[in-house]
Structure 1
Amino acid sequence: MFFHKMTSRDIRDNLATESYLMTHYEKEEPLFLMYIQKPCIIIGKHQNMFAEVNLKAARQDKLTLTRRLSGGGAVYDDLGNISFSFVVDKNKATFGDYSSMVEPIVSVLKEMGVQDISVNGRNDILINGKKVSGNAMYTKKNKMFSHGTLLYDVDLDKLPAYLNVSEEKLASKHIKSVASRVTNIKPYLSKTYQSLSTLEFQDELLKRLYKVNDLADIAPKEIVLDKKDHQEITQLVKDIYGNDDWVFGHHQPFTNKKRAYIPSVGLLEARFQLKNGRIHFIDFLGDFFNQENLSDLRHHLEDVPYQRIALKKSLEEIEVSHYFTNLTNDQLIDFLIGDHSDD
């Protein structure tokens, strides 16, 4: 396994570096990435920035705002968080299998004294039932990355000020607030490690992943970027992660909305227009995960009569779970139709 530690503290640079390496890394061995950033908020690919984030508070405190390529929910990071990702051959991993992907991280945390640690059914690492890591996946051509957070020493009091968590999601977790659902890793480590800075904790994780006592021992495994690499990464920031059109998104007007939290799938919202009883335009928002581009599904549903039988027929050749992980075709139709019945 090769690795790369990012030196930038700007989430836009770090996400661009991750994306760049996913495209340009050609070795057969997996690639492990680690990065730390200044206070920022990252929303999932399918989320609405205006709904998920308290923009007034975020702008007042000068947080960096961006959107990632993967699905999932909104995340607050600061210098007490370590982000990580594994870039692998997508044919050697299963999309949505977070337990296998984060197992090396979980094993290292156990070695460092953390007890009662587990991976939940969807995409979180939990300690004593509280979230310390959220993860998401993304595929492109023959590569897949799984990236996530590690809440080491984050200012958790900031979460309620910046993130607007849906009532449906809170109800599904049987909790009153997002702050009551998360915790930091630091207090659960053996006392030997509780005095480590975030950078020292990052290095300790890396040494234990490679089973060495000194990072110098794995220097040949480090990916070093050159001037050309950095120029292309800077362009990615300009085109995507720092581009307001991408970050804030463009949402067409809609006349109908369906919204629900579906266990094992996540929060799903459909916004659509009907014209002469047919779906004229449809868009999907939420913190779900997907393997295939949603634009293909949107185009497929356009001009289909808004009726159960018509929708079922139109989706016969479509595997809905590729667009919404763990969602079946019938579940999507039930979600879209709701209590509507014209058949």
Structure 2
Amino acid sequence: MKYVVMKSRDIRENLATEQFLMNNKDFNEPLVLFYIEGPCIIVGRNQNTLEEINHDYVKEHSIVVTRRLSGGGAVYQDLGNLCFSFVVNSDDKNFGDFKSFTQPIVDVLKEMGAKTAEVSGRNDLLVDGKKFSGNAMYTKNGKTFSHGTLSYDVDLDVLTQALHVNEDKIKSKGIKSIRSRVTNLKPYLLPEYQNLTTEEFRDILIPKLFEKNSIDEIKDNEYIVTDDDQKEIDKILEKYYNNWDWVYGKSPKFTVKQRKHFDMGTIDIRLNIENGMIDDVKIYGDFFGSGDVSEITTALKNTKFETKDIQNVLDNFNLDNYFKGIPKEEIIKLMTP
């Protein structure tokens, strides 16, 4: 088995690296990848991105959002999380057989003190009945990867806020995440493993997977990403993981409903979004204005459902003529993610 330790702390580059190594390298043996990244949310291939995230919180805290190739639900990660990914020939494993990939990880964690760690349900790893790992799988061109998270010391307060969204606000047919009780591994490990950095935790876990005592004993098994590899990885990064159309535009058709009462009247906004673009807009309410709001709804059609794009359209109107006495910034907030 070969392994790769990714140096980047950007989830988008790491997912691009995973995709490149899966599709463009033939190691003739299993490959396991390890990566750590800054605060980010990764939504599943078939999910509505905006339905999974607390957009205001994510924007305020500069949390990276991207979409992965594999299915499953949205996950939050930060520098307290270690990701792993096994890449094998499709013939070697049955698609959906998460246990065959994750059991070696569970065995190592038990050795490190997490005695109640177990594979549970379809694709989760639990300790004392609480989830510390979610896993997803993807297959293409004779290769399969199964990747998962290991919450060692994740900020769970941020996780719960970043992934919280008002279900009354957005309705779609996207695959919704199932919220579970989550925990970190750190308090369940032996004392000598409870005060590590995530990197130190990784460097202890990797050799144990190889049934060795230290990372130095398995250096011959490490694959180092080359400069030529990196050029191709950068192309994948821009095509997919750093591309608005991939992250947001691939969301299933959905409806946004926002309503707010002001001293000068109530505004009720309904937007139909398809491929990340505003397909239709309706504005209802008991507000006053000399202008016809249909002029605004017509102008908004085919606009990207992004704050800056919607604001650029609305900047062409004197909104006080349409919504008398209601602050412009409040109207923009109602119409944007």
Q: Is the 8 A contact 1:48 1:249 kept in 2?
A: no
> What is the Cα deviation at residue 217 of structure 1?
1.6
The count of aligned residue pairs is 247
Q: Please tell me whether residue 103 in structure 1 is matched to residue 120 in structure 2.
A: no
Q: Is the 8 A contact 2:8 2:14 kept in 1?
A: yes
Q: Given residue 29 of structure 1, which amino acid in structure 2 is its aligned partner? A: E
> What is the Cα deviation at residue 24 of structure 1?
1.7
> What is the Cα deviation at residue 50 of structure 1?
1.2
The residue aligned with 2:122 is 122
The residue aligned with 1:84 is 84
Residues 101-128 of structure 1: CA deviation (Å, up to 9, x unaligned): 1011000000001121111121000001
Equivalent position SS for 1:47: coil
| Residues 91/188 of structure 1: CA separation in 2 closer, same or farther (3 Å cut) | same
- State the distance in 2 between where 1:23 and 1:252 align: 26
Normalising by structure 2, report the TM-score.
Answer: 0.70
- State the distance in 1 between where 2:250 and 2:224 align: 36
Equivalent position SS for 1:199: helix
For 1:1-343, list aligned pairs within 5 A.
1-164=1-164, 178=179, 181-250=181-250
The residue aligned with 2:319 is none
Q: Is the 8 A contact 1:90 1:143 kept in 2?
A: yes
Q: Given residue 153 of structure 2, which amino acid in structure 1 is its aligned partner? A: D
> What is the Cα deviation at residue 25 of structure 1?
2.1
- State the distance in 1 between where 2:155 and 2:201 align: 17
Normalising by structure 1, report the TM-score.
Answer: 0.69
Equivalent position SS for 1:32: strand
> What is the Cα deviation at residue 251 of structure 1?
5.3
Q: Is the 8 A contact 1:47 1:73 kept in 2?
A: yes
- State the distance in 2 between where 1:81 and 1:152 align: 6
> What is the Cα deviation at residue 165 of structure 1?
6.6
- State the distance in 2 between where 1:165 and 1:120 align: 26
| Residues 27/252 of structure 1: CA separation in 2 closer, same or farther (3 Å cut) | closer
Equivalent position SS for 1:149: strand
Equivalent position SS for 2:7: coil
- State the distance in 1 between where 2:59 and 2:253 align: 26
Q: Is the 8 A contact 2:204 2:215 kept in 1?
A: no
Equivalent position SS for 2:38: coil
Equivalent position SS for 1:4: strand
Residues 229-271 of structure 1: CA deviation (Å, up to 9, x unaligned): 001101111100000000002457579xxxxxxxxxxxxxxx9
Residues 27-77 of structure 1: CA deviation (Å, up to 9, x unaligned): 221000000000001000000011111111101100111000000000100
- State the distance in 2 between where 1:112 and 1:45 align: 33
Larger radius of gyration: 2
| Residues 156/225 of structure 1: CA separation in 2 closer, same or farther (3 Å cut) | same
The residue aligned with 2:311 is none
| Residues 216/61 of structure 1: CA separation in 2 closer, same or farther (3 Å cut) | same
Q: Given residue 158 of structure 2, which amino acid in structure 1 is its aligned partner? A: K
- State the distance in 1 between where 2:213 and 2:181 align: 35
- State the distance in 1 between where 2:116 and 2:166 align: 28
Equivalent position SS for 1:234: helix
Equivalent position SS for 2:149: strand
Q: Given residue 204 of structure 1, which amino acid in structure 2 is its aligned partner? A: I
| Residues 110/254 of structure 1: CA separation in 2 closer, same or farther (3 Å cut) | closer
- State the distance in 1 between where 2:160 and 2:117 align: 24
- State the distance in 2 between where 1:15 and 1:165 align: 25
Q: Given residue 127 of structure 1, which amino acid in structure 2 is its aligned partner? A: V
Residues 285-340 of structure 1: CA deviation (Å, up to 9, x unaligned): xxxxxxxxxxxxxxxxxxxxxxxxxxxxxxxxxxxxxxxxxxxxxxxxxxxxxxxx
Q: Is the 8 A contact 1:51 1:164 kept in 2?
A: no
